Amino acid sequence: MPWANEELGRKFGEIAELLKLSGADRFRVRAYERARDAINGATVDLGTLDAAAIAELPGIGGSTADKIVEFQRTGQVRMLDDLRAKVPPGIVALVRLPGAGPKTARLLHDQLGGDALHALGRTEEARVALMFIEARKAGVSSFERAVAARAQRGVGRARWQLPAHA
């Protein structure tokens, strides 16, 4: 039976990313990043421990332990499913652009619309979408112009891939 740690580490990393994209408090995001790191660094299979033993591990609190136990029992983490439903997949794809953080991804998503971004899967389509933003530069703020220019540079270096939950 394989260790649960690898899968749990991925799930907690995705929770942290989706929390960040949804605008959650940075301390909460950091708590899930620490939990991911603790899970990835654990020397024992977390799938074999009970909630009390899990909560005693450094970097794992009670709430995190409960989510690990939930994963042991069901193979899922409900919080992750809820976040996947809340955060549009297009924003997740955009934040993977070099130089695009959560705010930039949200701005580009809002300007292009959810359906247009969800359809982005290839770099050429991304360039077309970003050219649309470039054409609108005359009517947008200097911040938005800088974001669009940075995104255009980054899209040439990025490999677009829609997230698994898309």
pLDDT digits over 67-117, tens only?
Answer: 999 999 999 999 999 999 998 877 777 777 666 677 777 777 776 666 545
The pLDDT, as a whole number, for residue 15 is 96
Q: What is the mean pLDDT of residues 115-122?
A: 48
In this structure, of 32-46, 48-62, 71-85, 122-136, the range with the lowest mean pLDDT score is 122-136
What CATH number labels 5-86? 1.10.150.110
Angle formed by the axes of helices 123-135 and 142-157, nearest 10°: 160
Whole-structure pTM over 0.75, yes or no?
no
Q: Which residues contact 14 (CB under 8 A, 6 or more apart)?
A: 80, 83
CB 51 within 8 A of CB 37: no
Task: Please report, for the chain, the start and end positions of each structural domain, with discontinuous segments joined by +.
Answer: 5-86, 89-157
DSSP state of 68: H
